[in-house]
A and B are shown apart, each in its own frame.
Chain A
């Protein structure tokens, strides 16, 4: 008859042996699982290549599509009008050396500033390029209005002993003149380009530059008493270069908190200082990468 001690030793030994066997079985399963993971990782690796970010703490990528979304939203709005206001005039709108009782005439903008225009950019179309620039076409309708003063020189004749010969410069009350309102319309298209950059305060800055045309010719037709109907050819210089800029608020707002424990035994807020490191445009969109430093308060 085995003693109680012997029976206990036997039972414990059996448990011990079974545990060892179970442990060996687990070791085998672990090795098998590790092999399966290695195989799965090898299969996955090439699919991860375009996604993995190895050179930045933060990266924000914006699809090329979003530019179309934004321009579409812009096009649907009511107010996208550029306003022109004249401020001063130098020279004449048009100067004639003949006609009008023989001494000619000239026309001015009333007070040098009574001219204004509204240019409605009613449709923006955009095409993304892999260089990271967005080629744009801005269709516009230009509606100008002005108050035109017409002046008739002369009349011809001697002014005084000092000016005995016929001249049109005699100060005899300014000649004949009239003032009328007029308007002109023009439509066309600007060519432009949007470029993207990043800064410490904004992950996405953009500038819109107009590249073409350099000028818009416009003829203002006006009918003036004593002068008649005239066409005043003008050329409006288009500001080629950056005309407007904007920014997108960072999607990563930069401040957060870390709590430890429930209920909290530690609650710390932090700020993330973002330093842009590169802006990488490609065919899919625009990616801004940054370094991040965490500062706890």
Chain B
């Protein structure tokens, strides 16, 4: 009887471990498939438009390293997991690890249920997603979008309580996890502004075959030209993000003399 029960428990444990392993593999396959799809799309774009920044008026590059400096603010953040009583999501780090075309984000996180002495690493398939903020139209706003969440459950005979915790975590929507992750505002200006200040230069007029001089001042007017920056495309490459834009309707907004 004891042997039979042990066998059943072992099989159950194997199944539960296999289940999370399979999910992790599925997540990995999903991530790789997305990576391939975006690589191919980027290839198609660059074949048709080599060096696409030259087809616009300006481009702005922000490195992954700079983005990661911003994302460090989320390091060590912990927040309750909605729908799982007493559970907390701990975010060790969020880092941009763009592949060419896919704004992939690597998140080191774990879920914890202190009352049951449970702790599980959580594997998240996440990307940076651009969002619009009507209150700040000039800002390039990104939030971390979570595509898939899989708790990491290692194989073992004593994992049944964890298996139940896994099931609870799997039932939490990806959005609820995303809500615990950072949103980054990259402040781009929506206007292209060129300012030239008023200047004056001394000018001498020579007269009387060099015998006379008329001294005076030549004044250059100041002006300000302003146009709107229109974002055409954003490329997510392994070095960071490239914002491609053009400038619309530059016009004089101020003249001074």
Binding site for B on A (CB under 8 A): 5, 8-9, 12-13, 15-16, 19-20, 22-23, 26-27, 29-30, 33-34, 36-37, 40-41, 43-44, 47-48, 50-54, 56-63, 65-66, 69-70, 73-74, 77, 79-95, 109, 112-113, 115-116, 119, 215, 232-239, 243-262, 265-266, 268, 270, 272, 284-285, 292-294, 296
Interface presence of B73 (CB below 8 A): yes
B47 touches A47 (CB 8 A): yes
227-257 of chain B: CB within 8 A of chain A: 227, 229, 235, 237-240, 242, 247, 250-252, 255, 257
Interface presence of B156 (CB below 8 A): no
A13 touches B11 (CB 8 A): yes
- Provide the residues of chain A in CB contact with B255, threshold 8 Å: 77, 79
A37 touches B42 (CB 8 A): no
Known: A91-B207, A109-B214, A266-B73. A58 touches B61 (CB 8 A): yes
B61 touches A235 (CB 8 A): no
- Provide the residues of chain A in CB contact with B69, threshold 8 Å: 292-294
A246 touches B66 (CB 8 A): no
B182 touches A44 (CB 8 A): no
A9 touches B11 (CB 8 A): yes
Interface presence of B174 (CB below 8 A): no
Interface presence of B118 (CB below 8 A): no
Interface presence of B108 (CB below 8 A): no
B181 touches A260 (CB 8 A): yes
Return A110 CB to nearest CB of chain B, in Å: 12
Among the stretches B121-129, B145-153, B162-170, B190-198, the one at the interface with A is: B190-198
B247 touches A237 (CB 8 A): no
Interface presence of B173 (CB below 8 A): no
In order of increasing CB-CB distance, the 3 nearest A-B pairs are A91-B212, A246-B196, A47-B46
Residue of A nearest to B185 (CB): A256
A44 touches B42 (CB 8 A): yes
Q: How far is the CA of A236 from the CA of B22 in the complex (A)?
A: 85
B250 touches A69 (CB 8 A): yes
Return B128 CB to nearest CB of chain A, in Å: 12
- Provide the residues of chain A in CB contact with B15, threshold 8 Å: 12, 15-16, 19
B73 touches A268 (CB 8 A): yes
Interface presence of B60 (CB below 8 A): yes
Most buried by B among A36, A251, A292: A251
Residue of A nearest to B50 (CB): A47
Q: How far is the CA of A91 from the CA of B208 in the complex (A)?
A: 8
Residue of A nearest to B17 (CB): A19
A252 touches B199 (CB 8 A): no
Known: A30-B32, A244-B220, A260-B73. A60 touches B100 (CB 8 A): no
26 example contacts (A-B, Cβ-Cβ < 8 A) are as follows: A8-B8, A16-B15, A30-B25, A30-B32, A34-B32, A40-B36, A50-B51, A59-B61, A61-B58, A69-B57, A79-B223, A83-B257, A84-B203, A85-B216, A90-B212, A90-B215, A91-B208, A95-B208, A115-B205, A233-B209, A235-B206, A245-B197, A246-B195, A253-B189, A258-B185, A292-B63
- Provide the residues of chain B in CB contact with A266, threshold 8 Å: 73-74, 77, 182
A92 touches B208 (CB 8 A): yes
The one of A22, A33, A50 that contacts B33, using a Cβ cutoff of 8 Å = A33
Return B95 CB to nearest CB of chain A, in Å: 14
- Provide the residues of chain A in CB contact with B251, threshold 8 Å: 73
Interface presence of B120 (CB below 8 A): no
* Known A246-B194, A261-B179, A294-B66; 19 more pairs at CB < 8 Å: A23-B21, A29-B29, A37-B35, A44-B39, A44-B43, A53-B63, A65-B57, A82-B220, A87-B217, A91-B213, A94-B208, A235-B207, A239-B202, A239-B203, A251-B189, A253-B188, A256-B139, A260-B182, A265-B79
The one of B19, B193, B213 that contacts A249, using a Cβ cutoff of 8 Å = B193
Return A238 CB to nearest CB of chain B, in Å: 8
- Provide the residues of chain B in CB contact with A47, threshold 8 Å: 43, 46-47, 50
Q: How far is the CA of A292 from the CA of B183 in the complex (A)?
A: 20
- Provide the residues of chain B in CB contact with A248, threshold 8 Å: 192-195
Known: A54-B239, A89-B212, A92-B208. A259 touches B252 (CB 8 A): no
A260 touches B221 (CB 8 A): no
B29 touches A258 (CB 8 A): no
- Provide the residues of chain B in CB contact with A40, threshold 8 Å: 36, 39-40, 43
Interface presence of B56 (CB below 8 A): yes
Q: How far is the CA of A293 from the CA of B58 in the complex (A)?
A: 23
